[in-house]
Amino acid sequence: MRLRLKLGLSEEAMSIFLEAGFILFSAGRLDEALDIFTGCIELLPESEIPLIGIARCYMATGNTYRAMLWTERAINSRHRSRFAAFTLAEIYLIHGEREKAQHILEAFTDSALKKPFVIWRQKLLTMLNKTKNRHG
């Protein structure tokens, strides 16, 4: 945060940087998105968003191990981050670690979540049930 203040960057400017990172990510320009998210880590040390952005870039390349490391770092930097926890559950599902994903998803109830997270949780539970049915 000190660096951001030293540079005179407002929270609005940081939001624009992060949004640009996710736009580049959505466009498949992963290297550029990684550059933005990596730069934002120093500027927003209290936020898990750049860390999750990096994890999502690694997920997109199929590198679930590195995605997991960055997501765990996000969880450690911000206790009880739903964004980080659900991202990690998604990675676990992709990686075939159903029990770990289920443990995370069961820690949250729909009544304790805002609508986007309820929808995301329901989608992840559906994925979990599909893999459960496939594997017996």
The DSSP result for the chain, as a single string, is -HHHHHHT--HHHHHHHHHHHHHHHHTT-HHHHHHHHHHHHHH-TT-SHHHHHHHHHHHHTT-HHHHHHHHHHHHHHSTT-HHHHHHHHHHHHHHT-HHHHHHHHHT--GGGS-HHHHHHHHHHHHHHHHHHHH--
pTM of the model: 0.80
Domain with 38, as residue range(s), is 2-134
- What would the pLDDT profile of 16-46 be if each residue is shown by its tens digit? 889 999 999 999 999 999 999 998 888 888 8
CATH number at residue 10: 1.25.40.10
37's tokens = 């998210």
C-beta separation of 89 from 69 below 8 A: no
pLDDT at residue 53, as a whole number: 96
How many CB atoms sit inside 10 A of residue 110's CB?
Answer: 11
Domain total in the chain: 1
pLDDT per position as a tens digit, 71-108? 999 988 766 788 899 999 999 998 889 999 999 988 88
- The pLDDT of residue 3 is 56
